[in-house]
Amino acid sequence: MNEGRMAFSQVMAHGSRFVLDRCIRRYDGNRRIRSFSVRDQYLAMSFAQLTDRDSLRDIEACLGAVPDKLYHLGIRGAVARSTLADANEKRDWRIFADFARRLVVEARRLYVSEPLGLEEIDQRERTVYALDATTIDLSLSVFPWARFRTTKAGVKMHTLLDLRGSIPAFTWITEARLAAVRILDALVTEPGSIYVFDRGFIDFARLHRLTSAHAIFVTRAKRGMRWERIHSRPVDRSTGLVCDQTIRLTGTTSALDYPSHLRRVAFRDAETGKKLDFLTNDFTLGALTVAELYRMRWQVELFFKWIKQHLRIKTFYGTSSNAVKSQIWIAISVYLLVAIARKRLGIERDLYTMLQILSVHPFEKTPLPQLFSAARYTPKDAAISNQLRLFDL
């Protein structure tokens, strides 16, 4: 990277300007715009994400305080609160959605060889996805269009997370009242890939469509599911496995919805003593691998927690549906840009640390590898030897 470029510009440079311009032209984003282009809007909103700005007034004040640096950030128009608010309300959110999807392609290419830590999966080079959804709560008085309960408003972000690198391969933003299981209808299934999701996604007719498309799923069995055993395989109980069975469904509707056999793997957690029943349509993976795959589903929960805590998708700079979707997609693209920069530059820091450093050094003219290598910090899980315990006082 050019040592004369600011840290913020270095991160943004990992997203192709030509790709963004193509997305803008696709939706005629700059039509009748004399100043403050869509690119200016994207950069201003990305700056707000990276530096954790609280409001439009906050963005205006911070960027207005450094007018001589705006050109070097890539921003050509003046950043006024009213102009940015108007841009968020009116400029098509699909511009940023399409740009984020192009970044997904690049990020997945970089992380395709990232090991999962499961030898059986890594040897076969299979793609593993975790599918889940999170609700982003909104104020009903401010966002009346997003009502989904009598006193609540919100939108739902459905994410298909590629577990190699925790890359959001697909994201759908819908009204909050849409049942998560219905996203399976929009899923473009990849034969041979593994899809892991919780029991909230169990709909046997939809699961049978996954099987017919030669995809593999791993999920948890619902309570009260009716089934009968066809065959049992031996398991090593010292590993926590309880049983590994071939079953068929016997429920009135489930037997019709899923006429094929299923595999049931029961596992007992040594720490909690809780027994977990897993269902899959794959009969070749090791039983312990099936249990480990479901455990890895937790990464999508961590992704939702991480992006809500460290990027701006819980408070919004606009009140319309277009403004909310634009902000969410820009947040996702910023996450992807940092992930891409991390991989391309061989940076060992985790994304959390990188964002924390970028938030206080956006104008630093230091190459990113040097900026992050110079950082000294104590990991969250490290013991602090000189810190007294409460009862040692």
d(CA 250, CA 228): 7
Quick one: which of 55, 97, 87 has its CA closest to 317?
A: 55
pLDDT band at 287 (very low <50, low <70, confident <90, very high): very high
- What are the tens digits of pLDDT across the range 123-141? 888 899 999 999 999 999 9
User: Which residues are CB-contacts of 168 (< 8 A; sequence separation ≥ 6)?
Assistant: 104, 159, 160, 161, 162, 303, 332, 335, 336
- What are the tens digits of pLDDT across the range 150-203? 889 999 999 999 999 899 999 999 999 999 999 999 998 999 999 999 999 999
User: Which residues are CB-contacts of 228 (< 8 A; sequence separation ≥ 6)?
Assistant: 247, 248, 250
Quick one: which of 31, 46, 38, 21 has its CA closest to 77?
A: 38
Other Cβ atoms within 10 Å of 189 Cβ, number: 16
- Angle at the Cα of 353 from the Cα atoms of 350 and 355, rounded to 5 degrees: 105
pLDDT band at 372 (very low <50, low <70, confident <90, very high): confident
- What are the tens digits of pLDDT across the range 21-51? 999 999 998 988 888 999 999 999 999 999 9
Containing 231, the helix (H) or strand (E) segment is: strand 227-233
Say yes or no to pLDDT of 223 above 70: yes
CA dihedral in degrees (151, 327, 365, 37; nearest 10)? -140
Q: What is the mean pLDDT of residues 231-258?
A: 94
What pLDDT score does 393 carry?
A: 39
What pLDDT score does 389 carry?
A: 46
Say yes or no to pLDDT of 352 above 90: no
Percentage of residues in the chain having pLDDT higher than 90: 68
What pLDDT score does 119 carry?
A: 87
d(CA 223, CA 200): 12
Say yes or no to pLDDT of 272 above 90: no
Say yes or no to pLDDT of 386 above 70: no
Say yes or no to pLDDT of 391 above 60: no
CA dihedral in degrees (314, 319, 325, 329; nearest 10)? -50
Q: What is the mean pLDDT of residues 89-97?
A: 95
pLDDT band at 392 (very low <50, low <70, confident <90, very high): very low
Instruction: State phi, psi for 52 to the nearest 5 degrees.
Output: 60, 55
CATH of domain 198-296: 3.30.1370
d(CA 361, CA 6): 9
Q: What is the mean pLDDT of residues 60-64?
A: 91
d(CA 6, CA 155): 35
d(CA 158, CA 168): 10
Q: Are the C-beta atoms of residues 225 and 251 closer than 8 Å to each other? A: yes
Quick one: which of 85, 101, 13 has its CA closest to 44?
A: 85
Q: Are the C-beta atoms of residues 143 and 151 closer than 8 Å to each other? A: no
- What are the tens digits of pLDDT across the range 301-344? 999 988 888 888 888 999 999 999 999 999 999 999 999 999 99
Say yes or no to pLDDT of 390 above 50: no
What pLDDT score does 382 carry?
A: 53
The b/e string for 307-327 (b: 16+ C-beta within 10 A; e otherwise) is beebbbbeebbbbbbbbbbbb
Q: Which two tokens stand for residue 265?
A: 């793997």
What pLDDT score does 312 carry?
A: 83
Task: Report domain extents, the chain.
Answer: 7-94+317-373, 198-296
